[in-house]
Chains A and B, each alone.
Chain A
Amino acid sequence: MKQDSSELQAQVEALRTDARRELPQLKGLEACEGFRVRYLGRKGMITRLFELMKSLPPEARPAAGKLLNRAKRELEQALGERQQQIRLSSQAQQLEAEALDVTLPGRPVALGHLHLMSQTLREIYRIFARLGFQMERTREVESDEYNFQLLNIPPGHPARDMWSTFYTTRPGLLLRTHTSPGQIRVMRRYAPQPVRAILPGKCYRYEQVDATHEMQFYQVEGLAVGREITMAHLKGVLIEFVRQLFGQERRVELRASYFPFTEPSLEVAMDCIACGGRGCRICSGTGWLEILGSGMVHPVVLQNGGYDPDLFSGFAFGIGPERVAMLKYHIEDIRLFYSNDLRFTEQFG
């Protein structure tokens, strides 16, 4: 039986119409597979039409082949699109089902905290490292000789009133009242080489503990000894330090002061960081905050350290890191440092 090409055409058309109607009805990928088998499978309708084509007259076959191939491609493409649609929609459903309440708290990462003192000391070390000062460790239990006598404070000297001292039951031994005995130790360690060092550490004073006094506190001593060190360098270094620590805009005032181991001695004050110099409670209305004591190393001390005061000069300073931290973080009670209440400690570092 010879087939008529127009009949084939009609059949293709019908197949197309059926497929178009069926495709949007397909639910799920399994239904899609059934569709594919029925239309495009090895025994599917398209295959059957190709077989019918063989009964066409040879001159009609190329056109019919083209027609069938196009129909096949069309079906394949439409099926592919439908399958993609179905995949996306089922994925969307799944994602919806996986919804999280992202406003719930995250799982805590429990790192610890550095003590505020360590944090403050690091800041001080960094600034002085940039200025060429290296860290040296010095001892805390000292002799009267190092804590006082070699620093130009003989027994009975009125300046001894400046330090309330913890003495020990061992003759001549005391808890250092300041880091200054470290000056002698470091000078003796390096004389006659030049020195540029900072000496941090704990100090102790026999003082009733209250919001502004502690029996234990830290100090950072600074010492520079060389052949050409002048007060201009002392000023330069300390102004730089204050500004790196408290801000470039700080105004710095230098005041005459007194320490038996420096001559001349001076105190460094900066405009109050709380009120900018207008006067407030923190600066007791003066607009200024004293932050460190310093001076040119006394010739007697240079000599005790092993340097000839006619050839060498030096400067020294002492910083109270608790005070630095108290000013920076508006802490009004020094006792918080060593009470180790984590509710305080964990606010830092």
Chain B
Amino acid sequence: MRIPLSWLSDYLELSDPVEELAGRLTRAGLEVAAIEEIGADWQGISVGQIVKIEKHPQADRLLVAQVDCGSGQLKLSVTGAPNIKMGQAGQKVAVAWPGARLCSGHAEGSPTFTVKPARLRGVASEVVLCSEKELGLSEDHSGILLLDPEAPVGTPLSELLGDTVLELELTPNLSRCLSLIGVAREVAALQGTRLEVSEPSYRAEGEPIAGRVGVQIAAEELCARYSALLIENIQDGPSPAWMQRRLRLAGMRPISAIVDITNYVMLEWGQPLHAFDYDRLRERAGGKAPKITVRRARSAESITTLDGVRRDLDQEMLIIADERGPIAIAGVMGGQETEVSEQTRTVLLESANFNNINNRRTVARLKLPSEAALRFTRGIPAELTERAARRAAELMSHYAQGRVSNGMVDVYPHRQPRRQIELAPRQVERLLGLSLDAERIGEVLGALDFDCEPQGESLRVTVPWHRLDVEIPADLIEEIARMIGYQHLPASLISEPPPSWRPEGALDLELEEQVRDILVSCGLTEVINYSLSNPEVEARLYPEGQAPDEGQYIRLANPLSSERGFLRRNLLAQLLQTVAANRRHRSRVLLFEIGRVYLPDQQDPDSLPAEPRRLALALSGARRAPSWNQKSEELDFFDLKGIITELLSRLGLEDTSFVPLSAWPFHPRRGAELRSGQQPVGRLGELHPEVAQRFGLKERTLLGELDLEALLAQSRRQPRGYRPSPRFPAIEQDLAIVLPEKIPAAQVSELIRQAGGPLLAEVHLFDVYQGEQVPEGQRSLAYSLRYRAPDRTLTDAEVQKIHARIGQALTRELGAVVRGSEEVAS
């Protein structure tokens, strides 16, 4: 809402400098988003009067105007403005002298230029006659600005048209401030001054309205009131210059007196009005008195609105109809057929109150937002219709020669209730922490037109008719706080002790953050992708035809784009896209993401979906950061497994295993399922080359996705007790075996442990070899085994016995050949 201060001053005296006023309004909830100083940069621009207009001798489209600028000497200006004509004279115009700065009339974004004397096709042009756009008043460059004929020649333009406009950004509750008077009420209360709004005065000397129009409200629940006035003898033309100026400052385009007056009253009071051409209505009624009904549209009804578009109506839409059908969509847009025009002589002025929720729905369905609809959707007091209609009648009688009919049609089935609220000072204190007595409360609320009557300890507060937003004591308390100023309320930390500590939530938070820290220290960088994705991208992770179908996704009804029309079911697809995007400028990319996936319940599709947290990891590129002193190999499966193993160990998951997995999106022979006990808790592996290609990844990429909920739930909740360092020395012996390559290493080490028994303290695989001296299809595994007893030093004989037993077991169970072993004591 744009508030020109010169207009606001009609209703009260502004006591503060504009910055202070803006600060005050902002603190009171009427946010001043900008203060626009109109004319502050109009140096060297003043009022001139055209004395003579001649044709340019060299150019058909140009005119040469002689302008009296009050300097005693006429100035020449060459112009192409289509709104002045050869032979005319007397127009008052805005004249820019050399040195003045103007906005470019043709260019976008209004760059400025400095006026210089020029010759245009041989004729001197000493001054510029300005358009609205050149002055920065609007985007209109269709002609020069014609000023009020009364404007004195030579006056600086800033004195005539300069102003300060406050640009208010209003929250939806502030519908009352979508009007100058509404804002003036707030300013008056904040300043502690009085509001001066005069009653409309005009003589209703036309024939009585009675019998000349019938109004019936058929949908009372959607129309609380319908007031109408008849104004005859109208001479529509341009509205007065001051009104046009105010409309422009407020951001509306002047059109004609009738339309401008309805808009002016809407801006002034907040009540949208609609003007029907009464004679057209009469024609439609066959020359009889039109009968107007406010009702819901019937099925298959339609209307051509005044923008020339035919619109189909549905049965929820409220319309204004006569006996022949719709003549307006209530509070949204009028019909073309009954629209006012230059020929209009008699206006039927509608000032009505329509249900805001229904109006909001219709506006949304028809996509027809407007200044009027904005006000209707936010809610308007029914009390307002009559005042606004009378004000418009006043203006039409003064500025369009209108003769107002005697009387008013006013159908008002649902009187706006007079709302009363009990308010006790202790309620105020309980919410604000500030003690105020009843008298002070009455004073504060009184400034906002609330009527406060003492009732014992409390007050009975009557809400003024123009405050639809105040319903309960808390609303009144907010008014008190706003008026006192939040900066003047006390502040303190909470005195009540905090609620008892909830260790589960705290632990969960701590663990999730710990996962991040562990992965960052393993060299991975955290990313956060969009939760919105699409099944097509995710389908790249699956073999043809095996991806989840769209029905397994939560799908948006109103997506912004097709790429982001669904909630993701995994983190991997977007993570791979992130890898690919970053590989373009990075030789190594190590990423992780912690985030939710969204899994609808297939049994009960309309219930809320599960939103489990997942952890995804992706590695690609060189193992080490590039440096002059280290060579680096490509990251491989075991880098990823190493990181995950470290993570599991830090989280204290004890019983985990990696089981070979042959499934997309992994390489069929380089994938693993992570299990905790018997429960699968994640998958990892090298990316299948087919999938890699689909994501545009040329290099080997490792990928994993873990069920974070399960990992955190199974993470060690209690700190593990301290284990003392061993007191007796260990004996270390190496064990090298050759066995079929198909036998998994995990099986071998498991068997070693079993056969070794409790005295085998550690099993460490230090070499895996295939090649020379190892038969085809076999491989050599070399372990270093450490034996130790907790209570004594083991003897060589004891160790040899166990070591031999292990060798035998490997030979017997797995067909391993034990190679010569070497003993090392430590």
Contacts and interface: CB of A to CB of B under 8 A. Distances in A.
Interface of B: 26-29, 31, 33-34, 171-175, 356-358, 360-361, 377-379, 429-434, 472, 474-475, 477-478, 481-482, 486-487, 489-496, 498-499, 501-502, 505-506, 508-509, 513, 516-517, 519-532, 554-560, 564, 567, 578, 581-582, 585-586, 588-592, 596, 598, 600, 605-606, 608-609, 611, 624-630
* Those 10 A-B pairs whose CB atoms lie nearest each other, nearest first: A232-B433, A256-B29, A132-B498, A156-B357, A230-B433, A264-B478, A254-B486, A258-B171, A235-B491, A108-B625
B171 A257 contact: yes
A292 to B, nearest CB: 14
Interface stretch (A14-22, A53-61, A70-78, A169-177): A169-177
A196 interface: yes
A299 to B, nearest CB: 6
Nearest to B502: A134
A239 B491 contact: yes
Contacts of A136: 505
Nearest to A165: B558
Interface residues of A, number: 93
Nearest to A139: B611
A313 interface: yes
A90 interface: no
Contacts of B431: 230-231, 264, 296, 313
Contact of B477 (A107, A159, A170, A264): A264
Nearest to B626: A108
A105 B378 CA distance: 65
B481 to A, nearest CB: 5
Given A156-B360, A167-B556, A264-B482, A255 B31 contact: yes
A169 B556 contact: yes
Contacts of B590: 110, 112
B627 A107 contact: yes
B36 to A, nearest CB: 12
A343 B555 CA distance: 32
A141 B432 contact: no
Interface in A119-177: 122, 125, 131-137, 139-143, 155-159, 161-162, 166-173, 175
Interface in A306-349: 313, 337-338, 340-343, 345-346, 349
A229 B520 contact: no
Q: Which residue, A170, A226, A228, A239, has most C-beta atoms of chain B within 10 A?
A: A170
B578 A340 contact: yes
B627 A135 contact: no
Contact of A264 (B481, B531, B589): B481
A122 B513 contact: yes
Nearest to B434: A232
B27 A256 contact: yes
A228 B496 contact: yes
Contacts of A296: 431, 474
A340 B474 contact: no
Contacts of A137: 505, 508
A33 interface: no
Contact of A196 (B490, B494, B529, B605): B494
A230 B172 CA distance: 25
A196 B495 contact: no
B347 to A, nearest CB: 30
Contacts of A112: 519-526, 590, 592
A99 to B, nearest CB: 16
B596 A232 contact: no
24 contacts: A104-B629, A105-B627, A110-B590, A115-B526, A118-B513, A137-B505, A142-B608, A158-B378, A161-B172, A162-B171, A166-B556, A173-B554, A202-B531, A230-B432, A235-B489, A235-B492, A236-B492, A254-B486, A255-B26, A256-B481, A263-B472, A266-B486, A340-B529, A343-B585
B279 to A, nearest CB: 37
Contacts of B585: 343
Contacts of A256: 27-29, 478, 481-482, 486
Given A142-B608, A256-B482, A264-B482, A194 B564 contact: no
A187 interface: no
A211 interface: no
A166 B558 contact: yes
A110 B505 contact: no
A229 B516 contact: no
Nearest to A161: B172
A84 interface: no
Contact of A345 (B474, B526, B596, B630): B526
A271 B708 CA distance: 41
A250 to B, nearest CB: 14
Given A156-B358, A175-B556, A237-B494, 20 more contacts: A112-B526, A113-B526, A131-B494, A134-B502, A139-B608, A140-B596, A158-B378, A159-B173, A172-B606, A173-B554, A194-B499, A196-B498, A231-B433, A232-B489, A232-B491, A233-B495, A236-B494, A239-B491, A256-B29, A257-B29
A39 interface: no
Given A135-B509, A141-B598, A108 B627 contact: yes
Given A134-B505, A158-B360, A263 B582 contact: no
Contacts of B592: 112
B611 A140 contact: yes
A111 interface: yes
Nearest to A215: B560
A278 interface: no
Interface in A247-264: 253-258, 263-264
A263 to B, nearest CB: 4
